[in-house]
Structure 1
Amino acid sequence: MADKVLEKIRIQLRDGLSEPVIKCLLDDLREKNVLNTGEIEEIVQKTKTRTDQARDLIDCVKRKGMKASEILLKCLEKRDEYLYKSLNIDSHSEIPETGVTSSNIGLHKTSATDEPSNADEEYKMDSNPHGLCVIINNENFEDPDNKRHGSQNDVDSLKDLFEDLGFLVKIKKDQTASDIKQLMIKYSKDRRHADCFVCCVLSHGDETGVLGVDEEICPVNAITSPFDGVNCPSLIGKPKVFFIQACRGHKMQSKVLAADGPGASHMQKSGNVSYSIPKDSDFLIAMSTVEGYVSIRGKNSGSWFIQSLCKHLKRGSKRGQDILRILTKVNNKVSQKEGIVKINDVKMDAKMTPQPLFTLRKLLVFRAPKAAASK
């Protein structure tokens, strides 16, 4: 029975579930009426670690019996096929005393590819072009000391990536806070929207939003809200993706193991970035760092987050991997990077971890148009 299978793999499943997958599973289980809002709120309390959330999710579903456990395992296969396979669930599903196998509890074997088993589980991505990708690059500010050296490397990488993925790329440089707000309103009304909208914002920031070149603040909500279901009907039910490269605080993340990094990175003079996710579905906001901490950028190499994102999104998309799986890998790679920054003439170790926030309802796979993919 599925609940017995869940008990057998409980520890490995607890250790393997990532935060993005936990959130997806909770959404799935609420939609399928396995968990109610109160149970989900209890599982995702802010004071709980990822391990605590995973443990509580598994135990809560297991207590509800075989059918609930079966649904969880089906959702896991859809949301993290790699973890599902690594747990060898199909072999665990054979329980001699009852004769129950994976086939008669509704679990099915998956193919060796990363393709989803049901097209309805994945956002449509077959238009050419797929849609617009707007890149806002704030590099030169009123205060010359705030110049964001190395940001052009990020622009070049993003442009090459999203053009290869089949997007119409538009680059806007050195925008004031008011300019950014007006650009978002303008593009929300654009008639060229197709499968998806992507926006990349590269700037400084403070506790209330991203910084315009006039040193004024544009709240992140002012960037995302023009594209919600009310303000942008042409993107209803379609993914709206925002990659934001900016600091969200003044602190540097601590290292678990003390060791000198192999290189040096430049940290810009900037502050926090706060975020606001509209309640509407189909948004992904990937922040370069967690709240309260700096985001690291090299003078000559670009930012840690954007460079890692471009590398792994290009590679993962060719393999048919969805964006949340790719961003989890980006989190892992960026968190392993080592560097040295100088603040007030004091050198310190540089560490950071990105943070994706999302209300996606389906798998989002950036598929290059067939003509481009065949090159």
Structure 2
Amino acid sequence: MEEPQRRALRRGRARLVAALRVEPLWDPLERRGIFTRTMLEELQSAGSRGDQARQLIIDLETRGKQAFPVFLSILRDTGQADLADMLIQECESPPAPPQLLDLRPVELELQGEKQHKSQCFGQTPARGVAAGIPLARGNSLLTGTCPCQVYELKADPCGHCLILNNVNFSRDSFLSTRVGSDMDCEKLERRFRALHFDVLTRRDLKAQEMVLELQKLARRDHSTLDCCIVVILSHGCQTSHIQFPGGIYGTDGKPIPIEKIVNYFNGSNCPSLRGKPKLFFIQACGGEERDRGFIVDSSSPEDEAPGVSLESDAIPFQAPSGNVDEPDAIACLPTPSDILVSYSTFPGFVSWREASGSWYVETLDSVLERYACSEDLLNMLLRVANAVSAKGRYKQIPGCFNFLRKKFFFVCD
């Protein structure tokens, strides 16, 4: 989409939200290839008519070069020519001249940080604190760093943990049964309950059902909680993206971009989680590439091929057809602060799974059991990456996209 067209949509957004009749738009938008049925169903679940209109205008910017003229045509066909004329007028208007802003620093303090500020400057940690070792439950997780650089988890439970576990897929999806995934799910249920999270598991959901569960969690009131965790166990694929790579399949074979999943919980869409850590653990493939690794000096028996049958969660990436998701389709997304997305494998590569469970989840569970009471999350994820990378004939390396502002320690009994 051209910049003048994007600018017109933004300038006219207030009027469109107030006056746009969205109901007659859905069928022609699908028929003319601007949105898929799944995308439209998600737009329709956005809330009121005004909420649906607002999200439609935002998403329209990402739908390629033909989206704007087709949208104008549909507006005229549905008796909303006045809105089409308004957008044309806005499109032809010159951009506003840049304004010189009087930018002054503003000090922002999130809840719980103010009382710790004095401890961060010039004062020694509390007596009896061992560097790197959290105190008992109910106290701040004081480490060698100052308390204001550690997320506080005082609530009990600490927060919600949603696990989406897709094992069986529809026949027409051509996706295999994910043997071992139930064992992964059981391990993580036990682990996060032990770490004081309220765990909810959903099994074998279609893509739209997954979206509804995620939106339901994002719309909950998290104001009395300190954290939120989402775990997804499914087949995966590559997708076009701006921030977070990869996609997750529902049991009907329809993909959901991980980027979209994460952004349900950002500061704009989930205000009660602002400033609080939001953690995502993804056991799925990032693509179909198999990594044979490279030779290093090592006598570790773990580098040998395991004598078990391996499966991957990979599904080949197919570029979208038509005038959608073109390179110039740019979306404006809020800054994803306080978010960490842990991937079971590097983008583009497969993620290995055995009958006893996946390499990633098995290792993550083991590391959490051993180190959650003494190490922060990023350090533990390094341990997971190191352990998984040593396995098997085909190689796998977990990684993460980290937008956390502080160290994160789980709460232990």
Asked whether the two chains share a fold, i.e. TM above 0.5, the reply is yes
Structure with a larger share of its residues in helix = 1
- 5 Å-filtered alignment, 1:268-347, equals 268=312, 270-271=314-315, 279-299=335-355, 301-319=356-374, 321-338=375-392
Name the aligned partner's letter for residue 200 of structure 1. Answer: V
Partner secondary structure for residue 318 of structure 1: coil
How far 1:191 sits from its partner (Å)? 2.5
Post-superposition CA distance 1:313-332 (Å, at most 9, x none): 1221122x110000001000
Q: 1:200 aligns with which of 231, 234, 239?
A: 231
Return closer, same or farther for 1:273/1:219 CA change in 2, 3 Å cut-off: farther
Query: Secondary structure of 2:264's match?
Result: helix
2:188 to 139, 158, 177: 158
Kindly indicate whether the alpha-carbon contact (under 8 Å) linking 1:224 and 1:278 is maintained by their aligned counterparts in 2.
no
Closer, same or farther: CA 265–362 of 1 in aligned 2, 3 Å: farther
Tell me, yes or no, if the aligned pair for 2:234 and 2:313 is still in contact at 8 Å: no
Residue of structure 2 in register with 1:51 after alignment: none
2:401 equivalent in structure 1: 357
Distance 1:253 1:281 in 2: 32
Q: Which residue of 2 aligns with 1:124?
A: 152
Structure 1 residues 247, 269: CA separation in 2 closer, same or farther (over 3 Å shift)?
A: closer
Aligned ranges 1:45-124 → 2 under 5 Å: 111-115=130-134, 116-117=143-144, 118-124=146-152
Is this contact kept in 2: 1:210–1:273, CA < 8 A? no
Cα distance in 2 for residues equivalent to 1:203 and 1:197? 20
1:366 and 2:373 are equivalent in the alignment: no
1:308–1:239 Cα change, 3 Å = same
Q: Distance in 2 between matches of 1:247 and 1:273?
A: 11
SS in 1 for 2:311: coil
Alignment partner of 2:169 out of 141, 144, 149: 141
Displacement of 1:145 after TM fit?
5.7
Give the Å deviation of 1:262.
3.5
In the other structure, the counterpart of 2:250 is: 212
CA distance in 2 between partners of 1:229 and 1:146 (Å): 36
- 1:139 partner letter: V
Amino acid in the other structure paired with 1:165: L
Counterpart residue number, 2:26: none
What is the aligned-residue RMSD (CA, Å)? 2.5
Report how far residue 114 of structure 1 moved: 3.5
Output the CA distance in 2 between the equivalents of 1:138 and 1:113. 37
- Give the fraction of aligned pairs with identical amino acids, expressed as a percent: 35
User: Per the alignment, do residues 328 and 269 of structure 1 end up closer, same or farther by CA in structure 2, a change over 3 Å counting?
Assistant: closer
Q: Could you tell me whether the CA contact under 8 Å between 1:273 and 1:291 is conserved in 2?
A: no
Which of 217, 234, 239 aligns to 2:272? It is 234
Give yes or no for contact 1:177–1:218 (8 Å, CA) kept in 2.
Answer: yes
Between 154-163 and 115-124, report the one with greater CA deviation.
115-124
Report deviation, 1:255: 2.5
2:198 to 153, 157, 168: 168
Residue in 1 aligned with 2:85? none
User: Runs of 5+ in structure 1 lacking a partner?
Assistant: 1-105, 339-348
CA distance in 2, matches of 1:236, 1:166: 20
* Contact 1:265–1:296 (CA under 8 A) maintained in structure 2: no
Counterpart-to-counterpart distance in 2, 1:220 and 1:183: 14
Q: Could you give the per-residue CA deviations for residues 132-182 of structure 1, whole angstroms, max 9, x where no partner exists?
A: 000000000003761000000100000000000000000000111111111
Change (3 A) 1:177 1:362: same
CA contact (8 A) 1:272 1:293 kept: no
Q: How many residues align?
A: 251
Trace 1:4-43 onto structure 2 (pairs within 5 A): none
Deviates more, 1:235-244 or 1:183-192: 183-192
Instruction: Note the residue ranges of structure 2 that are not aligned, 5 or more in a row.
Output: 1-121, 135-142, 240-246, 297-302, 319-330
1:170-204: per-residue Cα shift (whole Å, max 9, x none)? 00001111111111111011135611000000000
Instruction: Provide the secondary structure at the position in 2 that maps to 1:350.
Output: coil
Find the aligned partners of 2:317 and 2:148 in 1 and give their Cα distance: 35
Looking at structure 1, the residues matched to 317 and 216 of structure 2 have their Cα atoms a distance apart, in angstroms, of 23
The 2-side partners of 1:246 and 1:332 are apart by: 18
TM-score normalised per structure 2: 0.57
- How far apart are the structure 2 equivalents of 1:180 and 1:297? 22
Counterpart contact for 1:248–1:272, Cα < 8 Å: no
Deviation at 1:260, TM superposition (A): 3.4
Residue 257 of structure 1 and its aligned partner are, at CA, apart by 2.9
User: What displacement does 1:273 show?
Assistant: 8.3
Partner of 1:189: 219
Larger Rg: 2
Q: Any idea what SS the aligned residue of 1:146 has? A: coil
Q: Partner letter of residue 166 of structure 1?
A: H
Aligned to 1:341: none
SS in 2 for 1:172: strand
> Is residue 180–residue 223 contact of structure 1 (8 Å, CA) maintained in 2?
no
CA contact (8 A) 1:272 1:291 kept: no
1:310, distance to aligned residue in structure 2 (A) = 1.0
Q: Secondary structure at the match of 2:372?
A: helix
TM-score, structure 1 length as denominator?
0.63
Which of 137-146 and 289-298 deviates more?
137-146
